[in-house]
Structure 1
């Protein structure tokens, strides 16, 4: 039974029969009753005063009496000023419980042939270094958002744009040529992305040494400190060589391109390992080495149509002053493209590949202005979703201390972080005695599930728009608002279900006249709110809403479990009802955590 819809329909009839007025369903405000008052749902009656021409209390009394007599979902009511608190009939709750029990994906919507196609872009790594903690938040948000959009009935394409060209790539390539001595991932025993990252760091080290020496020379020659430093940065032999390599790459030099392809292949193999460990994947990967040329073509088309303008030095610009912004460079005077041009090219390729209805970019908040401009440019160029593109802007994530810093010494490496979380989960579970009677394989698998669950939940429970502090020690806690607390509750319920199965209990539909206590009603009502949480998370692009819903449901179940026995309930009817409730709480937790990309173990 859809209790809210049933009551809303009855309210429409009540106002018509009591006061002779037709009211639209959207006028009916039905909300969860506040804890301080008796009731399950509260109707706000102020919108009906014009029709009733009575005081709020009298109007609420009229409608309450009508619902009590003619609506099977309402057992009784009470009035508090202009609010009508409704106590829902036990039979309605039990009917709803049976509906939840019959639907494995209760609260989620399935896509159809007519469903909108949503494309979600996330990850967007550079091929000159491994993924880091910032990428972890990006990937987890992107994956979760994709699952949430699917649960709201959309067709979803998960996509990645790899920044595989530019001066930063040439720096790693040049350093490997100079100091690599033929080193490979196989010969070094390193993941490919880490190996390339090491050479990027090596380039920077040697480059800084060159700059320091040149700066000292220029200061000796009479230049002031600032000008000497600026000149040294542009005149250092290494940076000149890197720029020469970039020009050769742009010109299609065979040797440079062959080295580029070889080193990128090492990086991609490394990325794939990290993505697999995180449990994320993509339906389509685009590469900026392909998209930047498409972007230049699209900008030239816009130039020919008068959408953009060319300056005397040959550079191409977009004038956005009418929109309250500035002028934006699209093609440099030397003919090379900028990031904006590449994003235009990527959009063109994607639009040709898929009939996109909505485009969501999962990118940090330092790029807010970039996407404001991109939206205007894509709209100007005729992309139907350009004006309404969504920049899912998220804040920075940091650690409280530097103990897990990467080999670069500046950022937290994603692989190091994942390994540390799994190791910490193993140690904590051992200390708490969670691994009794388990094989070594089981212990390793549960440590992986709990460690990654702790990492993902801790990051996703925070409003994505906010900067956050990730504390590994706080995240692996079997109490409080953490992933392991929710996972442990799920495993506990599954243990109860196994015992019920051993007793041969049939968990089919519950009798609609079975007894229900207030805590059981609360759990059924909370499970029914899952669909609202999913819809809200999709509308507001907010995975944190799902995380906090899962925590609230878990907390409510633990309160119930503390107060009432399930397998030793007073009567067989009570036992079966509680088992069906517990079974569906576990199902809802599993479905909710799945939307966050988090696994739940069958035992812990």
Structure 2
């Protein structure tokens, strides 16, 4: 029985109980099963209120009937109690011992069997005119973690990055470098390529604002000055040349983009994220026009007198939406329609996830609705993983340009903070300098990632670097330290994992609670995948670490009363460390072997 899901068995036998006791058929979806609240005896609770319409008895008597049925039908149900309309089921110690030995300790535990289904997770999507910032960090961590969770859930996963490498903003950096750069390169300046290009984007903005002020002083309005400033006109001309294939402009564009990609590569490597497929807007910006024609042919779109193409979504509670300008040029939605089709044509995935901030909620509602109206069967598999902004306590972080917090600066500062806190606590005794640096990096990056992933993606969050590196709080370092503590115990015991433990008969409540939490791990992965929320996994890892620390303080592992107890507790410790490591890896977080 330990190899089957006890939850499934309890539900199935409850259905049988209703049929046998009350001659009624009830679908298993109507059986509500949950973990028993800690103040009551039992591990699983069945809500019996919905059954009273068949039993014609009080909730208490109905619970008593079903409890007796389950105790007779399921060997591992040793007792039960009824509190009002809640039937609390108590499972035997033997069930939990077998669960640890036969299921949790297997190599496959926590990894779902591979399916033939495929999912694409598109995340990061940076502009090539500036470096990545704090908002990009949340985006990248969410995308990478969701991809890893779906991989564990049995899907073939494609991690995609659509890079915005064309447009007026790119030309601004190029033009400023031409005018003010004096041939500066990443090599000559010592700057990462993305930082160098971002520097010239800022230089453009400064010079452009100065021109606007000059024109306003000459009597032009704000809007006229913004339009007529020589710099913006030159940038627009550069974009036209780029679109016309001007060799000199294209050459400069390629050079500066390569600088940026090299810089992004360093940042991605530091963040620990990766991609299987890159799309570039310079390749996709002309896509979608075929789909516009298809929509006109199907009367999904309509033309206005100026030749522009629209869709009327007012009956869906949205607006009229422009999908192609009157001069035949694309708007963002045009190329997004085309890129969605391209992605499906290339990979044929069942699900396609867009990790994009919540300021784009309306855009994705429109995009997905248009694709459904066009009859794209795959449109039902599209999902916008919308996430909230990240705020910082004011003055806590330096920012390169005074407006946004640079990703590289933030990561460096997190490692510094981790070093300070770790040294204060004296957790690096016996470490070489190289090992210390690796540990500071592991803790600093673990603190950053965990803090950003433990919150539901939809919520805006306040990131406090100091709070995140707390070895006692709801943090990554607390979980990392728990893992290191378990590994230390296992080393002291010279523990070698085996698939069975000595013939233990009884376990404490602390051991049982820990086994129950471990047994729930696959369910947590499934929920985190289906809800596109790494927060479920992050909070599970924290609760598991807390349970282990409670177990460690309440029962002796290395000085257990006998060899049988010691073997079981070491095996339980080993399984806990394995699940902590696995769950944290799905969040992109490394756990140290010692600290």
- Alpha-carbon contact 1:376-1:387 (below 8 Å) kept: no
CA distance in 1, matches of 2:421, 2:508: 36
Q: 2:147: which partner in 1?
A: 146
Q: How does 1:11-160 map to 2 (within 5 A)?
A: 11-113=14-116, 116-160=117-161
Q: CA deviation at 1:531?
A: 1.8
Q: How does 1:295-306 map to 2 (within 5 A)?
A: 295-306=288-299
CA distance in 1, matches of 2:501, 2:29: 33
Q: What secondary structure sits across from 1:270 in the alignment?
A: helix
Q: CA deviation at 1:513?
A: 4.4
- Alpha-carbon contact 2:104-2:519 (below 8 Å) kept: no
Q: CA deviation at 1:388?
A: 4.5
Q: What secondary structure sits across from 2:375 in the alignment?
A: coil
Deviation sequence 1:72-95 (CA, Å, 0-9, x none): 111111122222211110101111
- Which structure 2 residue ranges, 5 or more long, are not aligned? none
Matched, 1:409 2:409: no
CA distance in 2, matches of 1:239, 1:264: 20
Q: CA deviation at 1:29?
A: 2.1
CA distance in 1, matches of 2:395, 2:21: 68
CA distance in 2, matches of 1:10, 1:466: 40
Aligned equivalent of 1:361, options 320, 344, 354: 354
> Relative to structure 1, is the Cα distance of residues 41 and 306 closer, same or farther in structure 2, using a 3 angstrom cutoff?
closer
Q: CA deviation at 1:304?
A: 4.5
Instruction: Choose 97-106 or 549-558, whichever is displaced more.
Output: 97-106
- Alpha-carbon contact 1:537-1:545 (below 8 Å) kept: yes
Instruction: Choose 79-88 or 509-518, whichever is displaced more.
Output: 509-518
Q: CA deviation at 1:309?
A: 2.7
Instruction: Choose 23-32 or 419-428, whichever is displaced more.
Output: 23-32
CA distance in 1, matches of 2:463, 2:391: 6
Q: 2:210: which partner in 1?
A: 209
CA distance in 1, matches of 2:63, 2:359: 51
Matched, 1:321 2:314: yes
Q: What secondary structure sits across from 1:330 in the alignment?
A: strand
Q: 1:588: which partner in 2?
A: 579
> Relative to structure 1, is the Cα distance of residues 21 and 301 closer, same or farther in structure 2, using a 3 angstrom cutoff?
closer
CA distance in 2, matches of 1:316, 1:252: 27
- Which structure 1 residue ranges, 5 or more long, are not aligned? 220-227
Q: 1:478: which partner in 2?
A: 471
Q: 2:269: which partner in 1?
A: 276
CA distance in 1, matches of 2:453, 2:36: 28
Q: How does 1:248-397 map to 2 (within 5 A)?
A: 248-397=241-390
Q: CA deviation at 1:414?
A: 0.3
Q: 1:541: which partner in 2?
A: 532
Q: CA deviation at 1:409?
A: 1.4
> Relative to structure 1, is the Cα distance of residues 460 and 69 closer, same or farther in structure 2, using a 3 angstrom cutoff?
same
Moved over 4 A (4+): none
Instruction: Choose 56-65 or 505-514, whichever is displaced more.
Output: 505-514
CA distance in 2, matches of 1:104, 1:491: 21
Q: 1:599: which partner in 2?
A: 590
- Alpha-carbon contact 1:507-1:579 (below 8 Å) kept: no
Q: What secondary structure sits across from 2:328 in the alignment?
A: coil
- Alpha-carbon contact 2:94-2:506 (below 8 Å) kept: no
Aligned equivalent of 2:447, options 445, 454, 477: 454
- Alpha-carbon contact 2:502-2:567 (below 8 Å) kept: no
- Alpha-carbon contact 2:153-2:526 (below 8 Å) kept: yes
Q: What secondary structure sits across from 1:361 in the alignment?
A: strand
TM-score (norm 1): 0.95
Cα RMSD (Å) of the superposition? 1.7
- Alpha-carbon contact 2:504-2:565 (below 8 Å) kept: no
Q: 2:501: which partner in 1?
A: 510
CA distance in 1, matches of 2:53, 2:503: 39
Q: CA deviation at 1:321?
A: 2.3
CA distance in 1, matches of 2:568, 2:73: 27
CA distance in 2, matches of 1:310, 1:101: 61
- Alpha-carbon contact 1:332-1:338 (below 8 Å) kept: yes
Q: CA deviation at 1:505?
A: 5.8
Q: What secondary structure sits across from 1:293 in the alignment?
A: coil
> Relative to structure 1, is the Cα distance of residues 583 and 129 closer, same or farther in structure 2, using a 3 angstrom cutoff?
same
Aligned equivalent of 1:519, options 507, 510, 514: 510
Q: CA deviation at 1:512?
A: 5.8
Matched, 1:7 2:10: yes
Q: CA deviation at 1:60?
A: 1.8
Q: 1:429: which partner in 2?
A: 422
Instruction: Choose 130-139 or 92-101, whichever is displaced more.
Output: 92-101
Matched, 1:575 2:562: no
> Relative to structure 1, is the Cα distance of residues 25 and 326 closer, same or farther in structure 2, using a 3 angstrom cutoff?
closer
- Alpha-carbon contact 2:104-2:518 (below 8 Å) kept: no
- Alpha-carbon contact 1:101-1:580 (below 8 Å) kept: no
> Relative to structure 1, is the Cα distance of residues 410 and 86 closer, same or farther in structure 2, using a 3 angstrom cutoff?
same
Q: CA deviation at 1:55?
A: 2.4
- Alpha-carbon contact 1:144-1:543 (below 8 Å) kept: yes
